Amino acid sequence: MAPRPFRFAVQTFSASSGKEWRDRARRIEELGYSALHLADHFIGPGPALEATNHPLQELAAVPAMAVAAEATETLRIGCRVFCIDYHQPAVLAKEAATLDFFSEGRLELGLGAGWLQGEYEAAGIPFDSPGVRIERLEETVGLIKALMGEGEPRIRGKHVQAEGFAGVPKPVQKPHPPIMIGGGGKKVLGLAAREADIVSFNFNNRSGVIGPDGVRTATAEATEKKVAWVRECAGDRADELELEVGAYFTFVTDDAQAMAKGMGGAFGLSPEDMIHHPHALIGTVDGICEELERRRETLGMSYVTIGDNVMEAFAPVVAKLS
């Protein structure tokens, strides 16, 4: 079986103006990236955000995705990932279908169980156990698929309900836009294997904040185990899945060892561990291309998302591998 073609996306959080946002979307498209992704975080500057160690996201995902789609012609739009606890499920289904409708079939629908505990607490949203949140995610995925399909679904789940109405508008992509489910634990990755089109591998953010613990849960060795879980749970559909990873630590540099030593030291990892860390890409353009081809061969990962701060420096990698 031929390897799946590489795809590359840019994740971006903020803009100084509407014009800058549109220009950035167009530039991402010009550079050959497949998609523009946002995340789904809403608290602004202050002690609540500082305690999470998460970067500030100025823009709400849904309207920013709509504007990016309108400004471009081929660029796919997505969110890595919508936290389902922040959205009423039937409303999110309608918003997603509308985004796919207006973009003429360019939506990638990312969904996650939520993890940033401080954000939940800052807004007074109950932060349930991981098992409950993942159970709710599974029901939400089923509801979204049903509302994007035909008929009037009757869904009476433990967490989500919908009956007596059909979902409108219908998405352009059939039977629904590609669904990305992201996470770093065994249970959520099992759900992704069964229900998603794109499996997004992440840290196991069990601590509820960004920190060294999460980074250490996603080393090359740990990610090999995660991929094995996914393939086992996916069964006959394993080869249909697209495997995606966020390369949060991307540095195009001629001195990979020095950069890897500094980064690894901050996380309690060796330079070698950092060089091969699935969420890091450190080295020259040729070196990064070789590492990505190795990861595609050994892990099956062909879809990579990088931050907007390195999208220009990383563009030669996109040009060489896309």
Query: Any idea what DSSP says for residue 236?
Result: G
User: Could you tell me the CATH number of the domain that includes residue 19?
Assistant: 3.20.20.30
The answer to whether position 192 is within a domain reads: yes
C-beta of residue 249 within 8 angstroms of C-beta of residue 281: yes
Tens digits of pLDDT across the chain (322 residues): 788 999 999 999 999 999 999 999 999 999 999 999 999 999 999 999 999 888 899 999 999 999 999 999 999 999 999 999 999 999 999 999 999 999 999 999 999 999 899 999 999 999 999 999 999 999 999 999 999 999 999 999 999 999 999 999 999 999 999 999 988 889 999 999 999 999 999 887 655 556 677 788 889 999 999 999 999 999 999 999 999 999 999 999 999 999 999 988 888 899 999 999 999 999 999 999 999 999 999 999 999 999 999 999 999 999 999 8
Before 81, cis peptide (omega within 30)? yes
**Is residue 2 one of the residues assigned to a domain?**
no
Per residue in 170-224, pLDDT (tens digit) is 999 999 999 999 888 899 999 999 999 999 998 876 555 566 777 888 899 999 9
| 14 within a domain of the structure (yes/no) | yes
Name the one residue in this structure whose structure tokens are 């739009």: 77
pTM given for the model: 0.95
> Would you say residue 189 lies in a domain?
yes
User: Of 170, 165, 316, which Cα lies nearest the Cα of 250?
Assistant: 316
Report the domain count for the chain: 1
List the one residue out of 26, 142, 116, 140 whose CA is nearest residue 77: 26
Range of the domain at 292: 7-321
Position 1 in a domain: no
Within a domain: residue 201? Answer: yes
Give me the sign of the Cα torsion angle 199, 203, 204, 208: negative
